A and B are shown apart, each in its own frame.
Chain A
Amino acid sequence: MHGSAARATLLWLVLVAATLLTWAVGERGSAGPHVAALLAVVSCVKGGMVILDFMVLRHAPPMWRALTLGWLVLTWALIGLAYWNGMPT
């Protein structure tokens, strides 16, 4: 049900590595829609791992997966729309 210890450890390492990537992008001061999109995708992938594996929604009724993953994607879609709205014309 909760997977193996090895899988959890691998996911944790990937999650921390992805966090380092986000931090490095921030330290470089990189900006623009492509960077924002990359960071949004990284956040979605990390969130998906937490939802499906750590919260074990992979084995939950499909409605719960749809609600939580849908929340993640919808939230970033709204952030993306707002980001686009704020771009210089």
Chain B
Amino acid sequence: MNTASATALTPAPPAAQYRLAGDLAIWIFILAELLAFGVFFSAYAFTRAHHVELFDAEQRALHRDVGALNTALLLTASYFVVRAVQAAERFAARASSHWLLGAMVCGAGFIVLKLFEYGAAFDQGVSLSSSPFHMFYLSLTFFHFMHVILGMVILAALWFGARAGRYQPGDMNGMETGAAYWHMVDLVWLILFPLVYVIH
């Protein structure tokens, strides 16, 4: 028997083995969000191609330390959310709520650092109209910032739900839906940070 026929005879895994974690609606929403961010990132990159020296000079003035720390905070929040889901899956509602609280603390840390960063930028005269780079820097990061705010509201809702013991094996849809949204907020930042703060 040759390899091709062996492959053809191997049964495909049954479709029932596949499962999307969370509500289908949130995944369609996530795809729309990813597309919007993708268009923004591409617009930034193609605009930079026409103003390379300006973009590179103004990028150097950004607070890369704060950007990196914020990346670590979002990743840590995502990790805590994963642990919260895992805890709920083993009936550990209390532990799950503690992990979610940890994720919210990280999210709050991100917000505080971002506000500090915006404050410092505004003090230096950065505005939407001060340069093409500043326009993209402010609009891209603020668009993402709004998603972090919504993510925090969702994490708070999950936290209340976890404390009430609402999530357990067989009834995880709500928590998985909220978790998927938070991970999306993390995912787009993983492109935004190197693109806007580092690559030149």
Roughly how many angstroms separate A11 CA and B41 CA in the complex, as a whole number? 26
| Interchain CB contact under 8 A, B19 and A60 | yes
Roughly how many angstroms separate A37 CA and B18 CA in the complex, as a whole number? 33
Q: Given the complex, which residues of B lie within 8 Å of A4, measured CB to CB?
A: 86
B166 is an interface residue with CB less than 8 A from chain A: no
Q: Given the complex, which residues of B lie within 8 Å of A71, measured CB to CB?
A: 31, 34-35, 38
Q: Which one, B18, B34, B78, B200, contacts A61 given CB within 8 A?
A: B18
| Interchain CB contact under 8 A, B75 and A75 | no
Q: Given the complex, which residues of B lie within 8 Å of A85, measured CB to CB?
A: 46, 49
| Interchain CB contact under 8 A, A9 and B187 | no
Roughly how many angstroms separate A79 CA and B186 CA in the complex, as a whole number? 19
Contact with A along B134-178 (1 / 0, CB 8 A): 000000000000000000000000000000000000000000100
Q: Given the complex, which residues of B lie within 8 Å of A56, measured CB to CB?
A: 21, 176
Contact count band on A: 35 or more
Q: Which one, A64, A74, A83, contacts B20 given CB within 8 A?
A: A64
Nearest B residue to A88 via CB reads B52
Roughly how many angstroms separate A78 CA and B45 CA in the complex, as a whole number? 8
B117 is an interface residue with CB less than 8 A from chain A: no
Contact with A along B111-130 (1 / 0, CB 8 A): 00000000000000000000
Contact count band on B: 35 or more
Q: Which one, B46, B67, B71, B180, contacts A82 given CB within 8 A?
A: B46
| Interchain CB contact under 8 A, B187 and A23 | no
| Interchain CB contact under 8 A, B19 and A8 | no
Give residues of chain B (37-63) contacting chain A, Cβ–Cβ below 8 Å. 37-38, 41-42, 45-46, 48-50, 52, 56, 60
A49 to chain B, nearest CB (A): 9
| Interchain CB contact under 8 A, A46 and B190 | yes
Give residues of chain B (171-200) contacting chain A, Cβ–Cβ below 8 Å. 176, 180, 183-184, 186-187, 190-191, 193-195, 197-200
| Interchain CB contact under 8 A, A79 and B42 | yes
Roughly how many angstroms separate A62 CA and B15 CA in the complex, as a whole number? 10
B12 to chain A, nearest CB (A): 10
- 11 A-B pairs (CB sep. < 8 Å): A12-B75, A40-B194, A54-B78, A54-B183, A55-B184, A56-B176, A59-B17, A71-B34, A74-B38, A75-B191, A82-B45
